[in-house]
Amino acid sequence: MKTTDYLVKSMTKDGKFRAYAVNATQVVQKAHEIHDTWSASSAALGRTLIGTILLATSSLQGEAGMTVKIQGNGPVGFIVADGTAEGTVKGYMGNPHVSLPANDKGKIDVAKAIGNQGTLSVTKMAPGDKTPYTGEVNLVSGELGDDFTYYLAQSEQIPSAVGLSVFVNPDENIDVAGGFMIQVMPGASDEEINKLEKTLKGLPLVSQMLRDGDTPEDILKKIFGDDLKILETMPVRYACDCSKERFAHALASISKDDMKKLIDEDHHAEAVCQFCGKKYEFNEDELKKIYAEMTANDDKKSTDEK
């Protein structure tokens, strides 16, 4: 399948606004296929993935990573999404099987699916970081675009506007999904900000623009006209970096008693990646090897402490 998913980074020619737009249709479709999401869950997870892409690609560098967690009081429960500076993202949620009646605008009721009470937290991690940075805000609407906007204003002190949109077909597949993020830079006047706000209020939903055939560049042009300088265009994709080695490391963190039970009673272990659904089997010999390493590490610790 030819990929349609990519993100555009741009800035107004006067440097007063940074603007990002992304088509993430295949990202959200892949998440739907992995997690068997129903419409409201698809929209909630999809918006979170799109928001994470926008945040990660705008604020991370190199091999740094980001985890976005949504914890609301609605039926989807929690949502976790991991993003990178390279435009990869992955996610999972508490309840993928949520389908709700349309809201009063005739759209998927994401706010009801997420709930209007809870938190949005963002953790940024760079390789070698011992203390990752985490910022957390209360949910303001559960629509998620508003919540990401509020997070940027409160935790990052960046006045922003975030639009996130997912259109789910009657057969539960994703028709289109995408979003934009505008950040106000120092030097922008109140008049210029008011003009932007007015433009955004009159803007169609991102999903409508994508369904009409608009590209991320077209979306940005509808906001700023020709007053834009494209800085970078990059692909985005749903990608999981899980491995058997990582799960072996996770198994090594359980108690030795629990590991002994796995060996003596179950004789094997199965680990399932929450992000992509891949299964990893550990036979008895592999578990014994992990147990031996745990014992060796304990012995080394006790020797070091003497």
For 72-94, the pLDDT digits (tens) are 999 999 999 999 999 999 999 99
The pLDDT of residue 116:
87
Q: Does pLDDT of 145 surpass 50?
A: yes
Q: Encoding tokens for residue 69?
A: 């967690």
Q: Is-contact 110 144, C-beta < 8 A?
A: yes
Distant-in-sequence contacts of 77-80, Cβ < 8 A, 24+ apart: 79/44, 79/45, 79/48, 79/114, 80/274
The pLDDT of residue 21:
98
Average pLDDT over residues 193-212: 96
Whole-structure pTM value: 0.93
Domains and CATH numbers, the chain: 6-238 (3.55.30.10), 244-305 (3.90.1280.10)
Tell me the pLDDT band of 1, cut-offs 50, 70 and 90.
very low
Task: Give residue-wise pLDDT tens across range 15-41.
Answer: 999 999 999 999 999 999 999 999 999
Average pLDDT over residues 225-246: 95
Angle (CA) 19-24-184 rounded to 5° is: 15
